[in-house]
Amino acid sequence: MAFATRAIESLPDTQVVATSRMYWSAPAGGVARCPFINAVVVVETTLSPGELVRACREIEARAGRRPSRRWADRVLDIDLLLVEGLVSRDPEATVPHPRLVDRPFALVPLVEAWPEAANPRTRRRYARLAAAQVPLAVAGALPRPFPEISRARDGATAMKFFLDTANLDEIREAASWGIIDGVTTNPSLIAKEGRDFVDTIYQICTIVDGPVSAETVAVDAPKMIEEGRLLARVHRNVVVKVPLTIEGIKCCKALSSEGIRVNVTLCFQPMQALIAAKAGATYISPFLGRLDDVSEDGMDLIQKIVQIYANYPELKTQVLSASIRHPLHMVQAAMAGSDVATAPFKVYKALYSHPLTDKGNAAFLKDWETVPDRDIIGQVNRWLASRG
Ligand code: E4P
């Protein structure tokens, strides 16, 4: 739901001006096995109803909806219910929605988000219908209307790419690509390289001019704070990484109040992320891959944290999607609005690659062989000289 709301808000010339809460409803039609969650968003847009419906079909597809039989379980189903003052029989975008008045699960959230919503034919308010008064179970809250919650418009940049490794060769090569914004390490990654910890961190900081996470290993807050203060002195790029334990959060609070940046790691549930943010963390690191490994939906965690942080704009903690195992995790992290994603070297290499890119490039270069003068630099220089 949060994904759909954000996606709708991102449509051209479209602003979400109100949202309802989310409501449970029993599946209609006797086909689906799971209950549904319904909500309404009210938008102001210059898109036509047809354009809006087509854009919503694309959002459904991006959310993973595939063609299925009518009434079947579906991951996301966006319907156009009403356009102010418009009656349209366009089969693609019929408004008002023909079954709106029979559906409490649509009417209840509609009148909650838009109390003045009225039938454009009769001008009677939908709020006066009995179906709009049916009590429904609340499933939760949708994001508050944008742009109030939009972090992207609050000075944030596009998702930052951090490299998740302590291998200096990998870091040097990835840094040469010009797209790496920072580095994360952990005790396991450091141990794997077999090099001196502090020197490794220092070397990484000299290669990448961005945040470099160095993790504490003490188990009690006073020792952790001491480790963190010292690590922060190694290089101005160091971000102190602490585990999401009570001691780690105490340490986060202490270091962040001294102006030392802290990355709180090993986050596996949304409230841990809120705790870290309240303790002043610069980054929270939810672990996607390790949740997927135990049959939990890592991306669901990222979406929830992004939404929770967005609900409270005073929280400045950045969501750093970690434990990324493959390119699809990167896609999902970006779609969820993660501020940062950290991934191993091999995942970044895979991000560049597509067989059709290689095939297409090979074909272009082969065709170029048939061009008589293939020296672009010489041609352009001569052309520029001829123009004085
Ligand atoms: C990064 O900060 C984490 O330590 C790392 O992404 C963990 O990844 P893993 O689950 O693949 O070990």
CATH number at residue 110: 3.30.70.560
Both tokens of residue 290?
């390790």
Least confident piece of the model among 20-34, 142-156, 360-374:
142-156
In this prediction, residue 74 carries a pLDDT of 74
CATH number at residue 181: 3.20.20.70
Query: Residue 70 falls within a domain, yes or no?
Result: yes
Residues forming beta bridges with residue 340, ordered by sequence position: 160, 320
pLDDT by residue (tens digit) across 307-365?
A: 999 988 889 999 999 999 999 999 999 999 999 999 999 999 999 999 999 999 999 99
- Using the predicted structure, report yes or no on whether residue 230 has a pLDDT greater than 90: yes
In this prediction, residue 327 carries a pLDDT of 96
Cα of 162 from ligand 1 centre, angstroms: 12
In this prediction, residue 151 carries a pLDDT of 46
- Using the predicted structure, report yes or no on whether residue 72 has a pLDDT greater than 90: no
The count of other CB atoms within 10 Å of the CB of residue 197 is 18
**Are 210 and 125 members of one domain?**
no
- Decide which of 141, 174, 192 is a domain's last residue: 141
Cα of 99 from ligand 1 centre, angstroms: 48
Closest-lying ligand 1 atom to the alpha carbon of residue 343: 6
Q: Are 231 and 238 in contact (CB under 8 A)?
A: yes
In this prediction, residue 305 carries a pLDDT of 96
Nearest CA to ligand 1 atom 7: 323
Closest-lying ligand 1 atom to the alpha carbon of residue 265: 2
**Are 269 and 199 members of one domain?**
yes
- Using the predicted structure, report yes or no on whether residue 121 has a pLDDT greater than 80: yes
The count of other CB atoms within 10 Å of the CB of residue 223 is 14
- What mean pLDDT is predicted for residues 109-123? 91
Ligand 1: list residues with CB < 6 Å.
Answer: 164, 184, 186, 265, 285, 287, 289-290, 322-323, 342
State the average pLDDT for the chain: 91
pLDDT by residue (tens digit) across 52-66?
A: 999 999 898 888 887
**Are 118 and 8 members of one domain?**
yes
Mutation choice for ligand 1 from 244, 268, 287, 290, CB with most ligand atoms inside 8 A: 287
Nearest CA to ligand 1 atom 5: 323
Question: Which residue do the tokens 């994360």 mark?
Answer: 184
**Are 316 and 174 members of one domain?**
yes
H-helix segments, the chain: 2-9, 49-62, 104-113, 168-176, 187-193, 197-207, 221-234, 246-257, 270-278, 288-293, 298-311, 327-336, 345-352, 355-368, 376-386
Please name the amino acid found at residue 326: H
Q: How confident is the model at residue 203 (pLDDT cuts 50, 70, 90)?
A: very high
**Are 343 and 362 members of one domain?**
no
Report how many domains make up the chain. Answer: 3
- Using the predicted structure, report yes or no on whether residue 304 has a pLDDT greater than 90: yes
* Structural domain range at position 173: 160-352
**Are 332 and 378 members of one domain?**
no
pLDDT by residue (tens digit) across 257-277?
A: 999 999 999 999 999 999 999
In this prediction, residue 149 carries a pLDDT of 40
Query: Residue 147 falls within a domain, yes or no?
Result: no
In this prediction, residue 15 carries a pLDDT of 87
Closest-lying ligand 1 atom to the alpha carbon of residue 289: 10
Nearest CA to ligand 1 atom 1: 322
Mutation choice for ligand 1 from 181, 186, 348, CB with most ligand atoms inside 8 A: 186
Query: Residue 148 falls within a domain, yes or no?
Result: no
- The whole-angstrom distance between residue 103's C-alpha and the CA centroid of its chain comes to 32
- Decide which of 141, 174, 204 is a domain's last residue: 141
Cα of 248 from ligand 1 centre, angstroms: 17
**Are 137 and 166 members of one domain?**
no
Please name the amino acid found at residue 121: R
Q: How confident is the model at residue 29 (pLDDT cuts 50, 70, 90)?
A: low
Cα of 334 from ligand 1 centre, angstroms: 18
Nearest CA to ligand 1 atom 10: 323
Question: Which residue do the tokens 């559906």 mark?
Answer: 103
Query: Residue 80 falls within a domain, yes or no?
Result: yes
Cα of 321 from ligand 1 centre, angstroms: 9
Residues 6+ away with beta carbon under 8 Å from 1 = 22, 37, 39, 142
Q: How confident is the model at residue 67 (pLDDT cuts 50, 70, 90)?
A: confident
**Strand ranges of the sheet holding 21-25, from the earlier edge strand across to the other edge:** 36-38, 21-25, 138-141
pLDDT by residue (tens digit) across 135-169?
A: 888 887 776 554 434 444 344 578 999 999 999 99
Residues 6+ away with beta carbon under 8 Å from 95 = 49, 80, 81, 82, 83, 86, 87, 88, 120
Query: Residue 154 falls within a domain, yes or no?
Result: no
**Are 62 and 184 members of one domain?**
no
- Decide which of 141, 170, 201 is a domain's last residue: 141
**Are 121 and 179 members of one domain?**
no
**Are 78 and 212 members of one domain?**
no
Q: Residues with catalytic annotation?
A: 241
In this prediction, residue 145 carries a pLDDT of 58
Cα of 292 from ligand 1 centre, angstroms: 13
Nearest CA to ligand 1 atom 4: 186
Please name the amino acid found at residue 253: K
In this prediction, residue 297 carries a pLDDT of 94
Closest-lying ligand 1 atom to the alpha carbon of residue 322: 6
In this prediction, residue 219 carries a pLDDT of 96
Nearest CA to ligand 1 atom 8: 323
Query: Residue 151 falls within a domain, yes or no?
Result: no
Query: Residue 155 falls within a domain, yes or no?
Result: no
**Are 89 and 203 members of one domain?**
no
Residues forming beta bridges with residue 160, ordered by sequence position: 340
Closest-lying ligand 1 atom to the alpha carbon of residue 186: 4
Least confident piece of the model among 20-24, 29-33, 94-98, 230-234:
29-33
Cα of 325 from ligand 1 centre, angstroms: 9
**Are 304 and 205 members of one domain?**
yes
Separation CA 305–CA 384 (nearest Å): 54
Query: Residue 266 falls within a domain, yes or no?
Result: yes
Would you call 341 helix, strand, or coil by DSSP?
Answer: strand
